[in-house]
A and B are shown apart, each in its own frame.
Chain A
């Protein structure tokens, strides 16, 4: 892999300073844990003249349990989230998703904000400069057209963060700081279905934290399928949050990752409210997850497998939660 190109490194100590530095340097990039960005820079996928290191901002690394919501600062490491006993008990999907990211050494460095803003991935993109040049590049960087879907006018690179579907299933909100102040957006609306512009975050904005509402009476879980048991990105990942009341589904939310250019909620589950989790309900879950999981040929693993395994995960996790909540 190539050496890192020259860049200036800035180390702000407050989030406001970071935003001001970003506004003053158009060709800058934020770095947190660096586990995704640094390999990408070395492959020539990003060429920032200025790198703003968020690791020295103490205010970004807090976990606060409020009376009506949990707030996690964007600089909190995935290891800290996975290792927090209260998060694991109350927001199980979130702890399981954080623990499913890469390997233990990555999780000690990688942050919540970094995982939520993870660059989309594609077998035609996450390659060396030499490889991409030999393949005439692609539209995500320097080239034209999509190598995955040749007639497509859009990029199909897949969003592969594990934490985002857990937050969507838990109806979390993302807190964003910009030059004009802070705003909040629903976690699903933080993303858009475009492999080249997958975040609705403006260039001058910084993700500073997430708010997860209290989930009394809910159970949740996250599972992913990957090539190896560690390190690898999800071929498909599914988070489920279920509220069971007696023998009926009181509420159910399912979200997927790795199968589209954004993490997304599975639609059409409202009709299951008030019904038991029987064969008919499982058929609805399967069918609706199939609609959401429109994986394209962005990995070395067959896309039909990824499209097929997401509904299996959704069904399996929901059944497990249903039985555990009995």
Chain B
């Protein structure tokens, strides 16, 4: 059954009828067309669906949309401003943190959550923050270097 859900999506307040059993992932992808958030393992084991809720990384595949009423949700689509990708996104681009790209939105949102709390993390802190995100291409080194580059660029 559908019920009115009001929450912030990428800085914009939205109110609409959403099914009570809708996962945040389904609401974002199917309801709003925000397909940057990826549907991976669907069981909380890969991190591809990571978004920010009140600046904290959350798994959209394991979160009910209605449980976030009134909260602020951010997806990878919300990072760019005026058509310019964010410094973190640019770092992934320039440091080759992306290969096939499927894990990238989740990696970037998990890293974004870390950098907001801790703008200058050490390598261990970066690895810890990305521990729930799997990548099958890069071997992780380029991803970690991308986050380090973004953190360095913000000094």
Contacts and interface: CB of A to CB of B under 8 A. Distances in A.
A6 B44 contact: no
Contacts of B23: 4, 38
Contact of A103 (B3, B22, B56, B132): B132
Interface residues of B, number: 30
Nearest to B22: A4
Contacts, number: 87
Interface in A15-64: 31, 33-35, 38-39, 42, 51, 53, 55
B59 interface: yes
Interface of A: 1, 3-9, 11, 31, 33-35, 38-39, 42, 51, 53, 55, 102-106, 108-109, 229-231
B9 interface: no
Contacts of B132: 102-106, 230-231
A34 B62 contact: yes
Nearest to B66: A9
Given A38-B61, A105-B58, A231-B131, 14 more contacts: A3-B26, A33-B62, A38-B62, A53-B64, A102-B44, A105-B47, A105-B133, A106-B59, A108-B57, A109-B62, A109-B63, A229-B131, A230-B131, A230-B132
Interface string B124-147: 000011011100000000000000
Interface of B: 1, 3, 20-23, 26, 42-45, 47, 50, 56-59, 61-64, 66-67, 69, 110, 128-129, 131-133
A39 B43 contact: yes
Contact of B63 (A11, A34, A231): A34
Contacts of B20: 7-9
B131 A9 contact: no
> Top 7 A-B pairs ranked by shortest CB distance?
A103-B132, A230-B131, A1-B42, A9-B20, A39-B43, A4-B21, A105-B132
Contacts of A231: 45, 131-132
Contacts of A8: 1, 20
B44 A35 contact: yes
A8 B66 CA distance: 11
B44 A11 contact: no
